[in-house]
Structure 1
């Protein structure tokens, strides 16, 4: 059995952050049942361009493999009854909606504890369920602006920039998954569930880590650095070679000594301007010019060969295609494939979460409402007559939505 095979999660999730968090729980064997609103056409991620057809998209496939889908209108009285029956058979209700919406939908612990005292209600929202911005929508880009990330990203003389991937969304998904698992553990131990009030804002602020500590404690003003250089460790940044860019990192003194030897300039190790971390920090610009002159004489791969042999932390600056083609990517089983009726073979990146051997039997992302009948039969015992009655009552949306 997979590690989380005994956990069932009802996921009222959409787009990126929430589905990303539950993706890793499903990867570990949790039964993640997407409760998709038929009036909205299900998860909005189904329609994200450019690779979208009908109610399927490669964006949706990236966040929803190994899950199941029920089309259910929880605002409809009959749909609500079905949802409440499902809560009786679940370990957690997981959502990523605006901070005030869980109360409106009645999916907080106080709303559901009479059905299942051990239910864990995990909400991942932009700003949390409390605070002055709880009713505001929050997306990755917005949170990167609020949390100061964009003031730290990009060139010092350029405009503020966001990170390439949506790291607030994805980090928030990881935080929500961790919170949910901790909640289920406590609920099984103590017999009482709870709310998990997780927010992208909290996540983004917490990831400021040591620059925030420096600012709060020593009045340090973080800022953008040239070539994405580390604010204090030197050298630790991107450098231009003859045909491209590479990353060189010297977070320990031993790496500095190995670096200058590998570059053929061992005399720099004894130069009083560069003898220690403090010296190199004070003379950063001079050192950068000297290293640029040396590194610019050879190609990236030539330098990487020398630096790897010397065990100096280094890397090429790959594009996405090159990253996917890296031999280490395949060796670590980081590419998985599923078969899709519209897109054929879909290759995508795997979860980095490792608990024992990585699973290999992945299911494609579900189509909208694909598992409604099977799940309501197996979990709740609804026969065809019951399903027909619920359908007529609008539990699964109107006829045009089905």
Structure 2
């Protein structure tokens, strides 16, 4: 797809590991030129060394997950000559994106105040653990800490067990996506108004924001939402998982129409009693209703329930990872793609969930550290002799 929405946009990414690269991966897949800055004094992004599965030297499947369609520039931003390269790059860029600790962007000089004299339209997006404007700015932080302090763990898991984290780093990924939205919006504003700005997104802020309606309930009514058995919805019943003859299904009877479809299929007279007639009654009699439904759903297999309810009641099988990734439905949707890598020509990755004009976005393998350095330096006006000087000084 030659005319992707962000084609012609140049974004400098001072990023590593998960949240930052996840956000910029969306921008790269949408056509933006993401120039990933990797320090020549190290092996680059730390996730290149994140195991347990590797693709030759200084590359990993973890790294490949988040860094396709990006360029890699070997550059030491803390060296004087490296900074000169960076300034030239900023002149040609639309944005500078980072996921450094909150106190680092100002120290490095990658804020709008530092860069506006070079490029007044530059947008500087800062993804950090706790933000840049409070007494935790210098704190390191990770996804699981945010799940803990923002109350998300307290809502996850069965009530008889302790709090649980999400199975994957959802706060990292949500924050990356929110940062990509903020950055794209600010670039649109800069294009229209001729002036860039800073955009700040933090893991903690995004994690807390995910409390959504339970937060509104508490802030206005003092209601504390708690973990429910079978991962149930706090207010709507039935909305939880039930055992089947050979596994589990998740059922969401979120409307009276769906509730009636459930009643009509199961054909158990107890479900038509007055104590279950409406939302409030089902909520007030949750325990009794779920005892009946546990019994009813256990009578058939998962496949039988899916066939019985398809299109009439929101229902899904509860799969483990192997089942989820071999589900024929994801093949039908094109949610897996083959990406050629020098160490694995048949490498498989999940597809970007965004479609453009009905087409899945194409991934390419992440490149080796510094692979695009020479081409970018030549574009910026550094001849071979200047490049040797940069290399000798440790700037690249």
What residue in structure 2 maps to residue 296 of structure 1? 298
Q: How does 1:56-75 map to 2 (within 5 A)?
A: 56-75=59-78
Post-superposition shift, 1:168? 0.2
Post-superposition shift, 1:304? 1.0
What residue in structure 2 maps to residue 391 of structure 1? 391
On the 8 A contact 2:21/2:67 being kept in 1, the answer is: yes
What residue in structure 2 maps to residue 204 of structure 1? 207
Whole-angstrom distance in 2 between the partners of 1:270 and 1:292? 16
On the 8 A contact 2:352/2:361 being kept in 1, the answer is: no
Structure 1 residue 182 corresponds to structure 2 residue 167: no
On the 8 A contact 1:73/1:80 being kept in 2, the answer is: yes
On the 8 A contact 1:260/1:268 being kept in 2, the answer is: no
On the 8 A contact 2:12/2:36 being kept in 1, the answer is: yes
Whole-angstrom distance in 2 between the partners of 1:376 and 1:338? 28
What residue in structure 2 maps to residue 105 of structure 1? 108
On the 8 A contact 1:237/1:249 being kept in 2, the answer is: yes
My pick for the range that moved more, 293-302 or 343-352, is: 343-352
Post-superposition shift, 1:183? 0.6
On the 8 A contact 2:353/2:360 being kept in 1, the answer is: no
Post-superposition shift, 1:358? 2.8
Secondary structure in 2 matching 1:20: helix
Secondary structure in 2 matching 1:224: coil
CA offset digits 1:91-143 (Å, max 9, x no partner): 00000011111111110000111110000000000111112211111111011
What residue in structure 1 maps to residue 150 of structure 2? 147
Post-superposition shift, 1:236? 0.3
What residue in structure 2 maps to residue 399 of structure 1? none
CA offset digits 1:214-244 (Å, max 9, x no partner): 0000000111111110000000001001111
What residue in structure 1 maps to residue 272 of structure 2? 270
Whole-angstrom distance in 2 between the partners of 1:102 and 1:96? 9
Post-superposition shift, 1:374? 1.2
Whole-angstrom distance in 2 between the partners of 1:91 and 1:198? 18
Structure 1 residue 133 corresponds to structure 2 residue 136: yes
Post-superposition shift, 1:261? 1.1
Whole-angstrom distance in 1 between the partners of 2:6 and 2:329? 27
| Unaligned 5+ runs, structure 1 | 397-402
On the 8 A contact 1:247/1:316 being kept in 2, the answer is: yes
What residue in structure 2 maps to residue 400 of structure 1? none
My pick for the range that moved more, 325-334 or 23-32, is: 325-334
On the 8 A contact 1:27/1:359 being kept in 2, the answer is: no
TM-aligned CA distance change 1:232 to 1:361, over 3 Å? closer
TM-score (norm 1): 0.95
Whole-angstrom distance in 2 between the partners of 1:93 and 1:362? 22
Secondary structure in 2 matching 1:116: coil
What residue in structure 2 maps to residue 224 of structure 1? 227
On the 8 A contact 2:236/2:279 being kept in 1, the answer is: yes
Secondary structure in 1 matching 2:113: helix
What residue in structure 2 maps to residue 40 of structure 1? 42
Of 278, 281, 285 in structure 1, the residue corresponding to residue 283 of structure 2 is: 281
Whole-angstrom distance in 2 between the partners of 1:324 and 1:264? 34
Secondary structure in 1 matching 2:213: helix
Post-superposition shift, 1:361? 4.1
Whole-angstrom distance in 1 between the partners of 2:112 and 2:358? 35
Of 254, 273, 278 in structure 2, the residue corresponding to residue 251 of structure 1 is: 254
What residue in structure 2 maps to residue 349 of structure 1? 350
Secondary structure in 2 matching 1:363: coil
What residue in structure 1 maps to residue 330 of structure 2? 329
Whole-angstrom distance in 2 between the partners of 1:249 and 1:313? 5
Post-superposition shift, 1:245? 0.7
Post-superposition shift, 1:268? 4.1
CA offset digits 1:311-331 (Å, max 9, x no partner): 100000011222122222122
| Unaligned 5+ runs, structure 2 | none
Whole-angstrom distance in 2 between the partners of 1:361 and 1:99? 33
Deviation beyond 6 Å, 4+ runs, structure 1: none
On the 8 A contact 2:40/2:394 being kept in 1, the answer is: no
Post-superposition shift, 1:342? 2.0
On the 8 A contact 2:90/2:118 being kept in 1, the answer is: yes
What residue in structure 1 maps to residue 381 of structure 2? 381
Structure 1 residue 261 corresponds to structure 2 residue 264: yes
Q: How does 1:49-88 map to 2 (within 5 A)?
A: 49-52=51-54, 53-88=56-91
